[in-house]
Chains A and B, each alone.
Chain A
Amino acid sequence: MRQLYNFAFFDEGSKREIRRAILKGIAIPGYQVPFASREMPIGRGWGTGGLQITLAIIGPDEVLKVIDQGHDGSVNAVNIKKLIVATTGVEITDETARASLIQSRHRIPEVPLTAEQVLVLQVPTPEPLRDIEPRESETRRLHAEADYTGAWLGLFEQVVRYGNMTTGADHPVLVNGRYVMAPSPIPRFDNHKLNNAAHLTLLGAGREKKIYAVPPWTSVVSLDFEDYPFAPETFEGIRCRVCGAQGVYFDELTDPDTGEVFHQCNDTSYCQTRREAQTRREAQT
């Protein structure tokens, strides 16, 4: 009983259904569209939502970049890339600017994306209200009525208790002035990259069976208070030990020899590009 897989793994009927959900998501920015999430050959919770979007929209001429934790070579990124290449044969790149389709977990690249690019984010928990309301039927009603009291109260309680909002990644955002959305666990540092962006962002949650989208040039505002404004992670006075970059998102590392804490660009492709440019400049001088 041998079975040959179709281009991009799915049968065409499945692709069509997923594309319909994507189109609906684009039409209603920030609204979570339920879809019949398929079981995939990688773990459910390991990026199957993003993977299903990627496989539903990928074409043979696509140039694909997959990152996990900002890194093209991270184990899960490699694993997802292998599967996509095995079923499509598309070209792979690490270089952000060259990619036409970027699937990512937990990061938006440092290099601003263009109108020609599509960003697919993997989402573990698409429901921004899940912490305050475990029931899906109830959270759907809250979204329908734009009742976001719970989301605000959650942030307010943090202010009361800890002196400020203490969200880590996945700080909730208001999309197009209507839907509160979980931006997937990107760090707060990346939230602004969704606001009025040139590129299309598609978000897929496989296990939770939801697809949603931020179309280009759509307002995405992080929830905050007038007296407690939203603020990204700070890396004040920190430079990348490898390329010297400042004002980017950093990985915190420990030197195995000295025990000293140092930092490196989290976006490895960005770091690499900078170092190559530096090497070229040094060669010229």
Chain B
Amino acid sequence: MAYVAVSGGEEAIAASLELLSEGLSDPAANVASARIAAALPELIDQVMGESSLYEPSLAALALRQGGGSVEEAVFLLRAFRSTLERPYTSRIIETGNMRVKRRISAAFKDILGGQILGVTRDYSHRLLDFRLDGEEQASDSASPAAPAPVPAVPAPAPAPAVSAPAAEAPQGFPNLPKVAASLRAQGLLTPPPPDDTPPRDITMEPLSFPAGRDVRLQILARGMTQAVMALGYAALRGFGPAHPTVGELRYGTLDVLVDHPFEAGDEEDAYYVGALAVTEVESLFSVEREEQEAASADDTHELSFAIGYGLVYGRAESKAIAMSILDHCLTLGDETFPTQDEEFVLYHVDSIEATGFISHLKLPHYVTFQSKLNSVRRTRHDADVPGAAFAREERTDGSQEASHATAV
């Protein structure tokens, strides 16, 4: 009798890895990472966002190695990220200083600094552009001096209230005032209590509940794009109702500055280490005022606005809006709605955790299933189930000797 069990694991893994590498070494499929980064910038944004690692070239490499699977690319980058030391902390980044390339408000037609439509597909027609294929063949075969490519999508129709130039400023518009600032100035926006506690780093400290807003925003920002969107949509639709008005959505770049480790000075003396492209959303929700300053004579309540906040890497606008919805939902915290239950939302949007636990079901469970099998058989009365007869006898004679007792 051959020794069966599950031997041969080592050989099987080696053979499987060989098949995997053969698949990827197909010369036709071997696209340079730089081309992936250039051709699929929004895929790169998604991977960087879910990995919480801002490095387009590594994201491209991970996508290439993972055969285009976002799940796999995020996995590779997260595992890499967890080996990196964190020698510096950047200076606080004020998002008001964003160099804005796109900025819209759904709340006000006319906003200080103007609406900037910038680059968006929102007003494009979703028609497959078959010319793109031809374009690629042309650029593949043509000399470097190939003709300028045909526009991929029809020029966007102007939005109703565009007051700034539609063309994207190459460097973006700096120092545009926040839309929320005007509401704040009018006293219509309840400011959250001031809190200068340094934010916790969710990758360095255990998650505990109730989670602070810092923790919540970090988890949502690196949550699975589609999971954050699905839960945000559920809230919007009615499960934990939260229908916001997008006060402001911005896309642009933020400078990252690091102080000299020994001679921390002001911003002028700090080192510029690069810029992050981000999408930021401030959604407006009307809420009941908690502390009413003026006692009203008729005992009615007053309303005010609160902000739901979303900030994600790159151009991930739907995710940023969904994040702002969930941020507000979790502030409300009515656990009868799953979207307002922080454990439900925060535990389940992480890519590594969801894919890891689901995929582990493919592992052998021979021992635990044998144990389950043993328990199931002991509850059966049919004589033809092996083990059932033994269990029945056991019950009638009342024996409780440990090694013979019916299954627990």
Contact = CB atoms under 8 A, between A and B. Distances in A.
A38 B82 contact: yes
A75 B13 contact: yes
Contacts of A43: 75, 355-356, 359-360
A244 B369 CA distance: 23
A131 B373 CA distance: 20
Contacts of A147: none
Interface string A32-73: 001111111101111010000000000000000000111101
A168 B80 contact: no
A207 B357 contact: yes
Interface residues of B, number: 69
A115 to B, nearest CB: 26
B384 interface: no
B375 A168 contact: yes
Contacts of A107: 367
Which 4 A-B pairs give the minimum distances between C-beta atoms? A44-B356, A34-B206, A45-B360, A39-B78
Contacts of A171: 408
Given A44-B353, A251-B5, A168 B364 contact: no
Interface stretch (B255-263, B286-294, B398-406): B398-406
A230 interface: yes
Interface string A223-248: 01001111111101000011000000
B1 A242 contact: yes
Interface stretch (A2-10, A173-181, A195-203, A212-220): A2-10
Contacts of A46: 356, 359-360, 363
Given A73-B6, A228-B408, A251-B370, 8 more contacts: A136-B343, A163-B379, A163-B395, A164-B408, A186-B367, A187-B367, A236-B403, A264-B4
A162 B58 CA distance: 55
Nearest to B367: A106
A74 B364 contact: yes
Contacts of A17: 204
Contacts of B78: 39
A250 B387 CA distance: 15
Nearest to B358: A45
Contacts of A70: 367
B205 interface: yes
B85 interface: yes
B296 interface: no
B371 A234 contact: no
A192 to B, nearest CB: 10
A41 B356 CA distance: 11
